[in-house]
Amino acid sequence: MSLEISAITDLAIMMTVAAIVALIFYRLKQPIVVGYLIAGIIVGPYTPPFSLITHTDILNIFAEIGVIFLLFTIGFEFPLRKMQSMGRVIIGVSAVEITLMLLVSWGIGAILLNWPFYDTLFLGVALASSSTTIIAKVLGDMGKIREMSAIIMLGILVVEDIVVVILLAMLQNVAVANTLSLMSILLLIVKLVTFIGGTLTIGYFLLPKVIDRVSRETSREFNNEHNHELLYIVMLALCFGFAILANQIGFSVAIGAFLIGVVAARARAREEINKAIDPLQHVFGAIFFVSMGALMDLTKIAVYWLPALIITLALLGTKLVSCGFGTRLFGYDKQTSLRVGLGMAQIGEFAFIVVKVGLDAGVLSDFMLPIIGVAAIITSFMTPYLIKFSFRKRSSIHSDSITHF
């Protein structure tokens, strides 16, 4: 069987199992994302007695596309003006969370588990960020993406990604050269500020006008029948173009896709764009979560269950306290604070990137990847239920609103 046919066969099996499991979860009124993860575990190469799919590396390509579409859609729906008015709480809570997570990770790795220096250092950075894709997917499925607590969480996630990128660059310097280069860190910060500032500035003055011009021209060409095929292609080009540009500069594709989504949202043709991108986001988003489940090696739980359990409990407690209490400190009500704390309590996709960098540099122990993987499995399954639980009780009229003080 050729590689192309084999890959298509894998995709067919994966989507068939995903559809069946997702339908069951839909009937049971459970989060669909958990169904996707279970479907991935069922078809994955680590589930006995045999693997139903053979090319997980190819599935990773589809998963990456899913991340791009998902983050573009979230950026498209992201209320930037509202976030700007909440910049103080987002930056403040992020600072509290990341600092506390680094300190707790150091205590667990160096003191409790007696791990080597680099294992402990990389553990802290790996746990510093939460999962943008899982949080965004669950909130989107629940229709809560515009809630105040959701806006705070998404803002914190953006700050987390930026901080982790900077910390990872510092770790690479320390691990590879055994020295911390101040110039490389400053260059990275300058590139980040330039990229974000340049994207938002160009977007504010130019891109929405270009998008609307394309929309008007295509409508005129087809006698106002609104054939927006060219508009969709232009948006896909911008989406993937900025994602790759961000990656080439040294950041994640997620940051580029998110930023261009924020920019595109200012166009008058946003409704047409949203209708075109939304189905693609759902399809590739499903592939991402199934692929994530397929790459989870559940057999490692028997070997590394104790350190994985300790790290998972510490992560849940630290995220809940730092994000929840931090939000409360900035004047938000208990309900909003609880939602932020419970929603942020999981390991993000960046954790695997951090561990891979350490392994490639030859400074991490072999047990780090399976431990992070096991902790990610547990928190990935728990997150939809924690978020659902936090929204179970209807808040009062003033819930999720800013407390003026």
CA angle 17, 71, 399 (to 5 degrees): 100
Place of tokens 């764009």: 273
Whether pTM > 0.85 for this model: the answer is no
Closest to 372 (Cα-Cα) out of 295, 285, 289, 288 = 295
Predicted local confidence at residue 99, as pLDDT: 92
Q: Are 147 and 136 in contact (CB under 8 A)?
A: no
Closest to 349 (Cα-Cα) out of 183, 157, 184 = 157
Predicted local confidence at residue 400, as pLDDT: 44
Q: Which two tokens stand for residue 115?
A: 């791990």
Predicted local confidence at residue 219, as pLDDT: 64
**Interatomic CA distance for residues 311 and 333, integer angstroms:** 29
Domain spans, the chain = 72-279+302-390
Predicted local confidence at residue 340, as pLDDT: 92
Q: Are 138 and 387 in contact (CB under 8 A)?
A: yes
Predicted local confidence at residue 199, as pLDDT: 81
Q: What is the 3-state secondary structure (H, E, C) of 58-89?
A: HHHHHHHHHHHHHHHHHHHHCCHHHHHCCHHH
Query: Which backbone phi and psi does 402 adopt, to 5 degrees?
Result: -75, 130
Predicted local confidence at residue 396, as pLDDT: 42
Predicted local confidence at residue 394, as pLDDT: 53
**Interatomic CA distance for residues 256 and 99, integer angstroms:** 26
Predicted local confidence at residue 198, as pLDDT: 83
377: amino acid identity, one letter: I
Q: What is the 3-state secondary structure (H, E, C) of the chain?
A: CCHHHHHHHHHHHHHHHHHHHHHHHHHCCCCHHHHHHHHHHHHCCCCCCCCCCCCHHHHHHHHHHHHHHHHHHHHHHCCHHHHHCCHHHHHHHHHHHHHHHHHHHHHHHHHHCCCCHHHHHHHHHHCCCCCHHHHHHHHHHHCCCCCHHHHHHHHHHHHHHHHHHHHHHHHHHHHHHCCCCHHHHHHHHHHHHHHHHHHHHHHHHCHHHHHHHHHHHHHHHCCCCCCCHHHHHHHHHHHHHHHHHHHHHCCCHHHHHHHHHHHHCCCCCHHHHHHHHHHHHHHHHHHHHHHHHHCCCHHHHHHHHHHHHHHHHHHHHHHHHHHHHHHHHCCECHHHHHHHHHHCCCCCCHHHHHHHHHHHCCCCCCCHHHHHHHHHHHHHHHHHHHHHHHCCCCCCCCCCCECCC
Place of tokens 């553990």: 123
Closest to 254 (Cα-Cα) out of 136, 168, 336 = 136
The distance of Cα 370 from the centroid of its chain, to the nearest Å, equals 20
What CATH number should be reported for the domain whose range is 72-279+302-390?
A: 1.20.1530.20
Predicted local confidence at residue 261, as pLDDT: 83
Show the low-confidence residues of the chain (pLDDT under 50): 395-405
pLDDT digits (tens, 9 = 90+) for 45-70: 877 776 777 776 776 777 777 778 77
pLDDT digits (tens, 9 = 90+) for 171-217: 766 766 666 567 767 777 787 788 888 887 877 778 888 888 877 77
Burial of residue 185 (number of CB atoms within 10 Å: 0-12, 13-18, 19+)? middle
Predicted local confidence at residue 102, as pLDDT: 92
Q: Computed from CA positions of residues 294, 295, 296, 297, in that sequence, does the dihedral angle turn out positive or negative?
A: positive
**Interatomic CA distance for residues 195 and 207, integer angstroms:** 15
Q: Are 105 and 121 in contact (CB under 8 A)?
A: no
**Interatomic CA distance for residues 405 and 402, integer angstroms:** 9
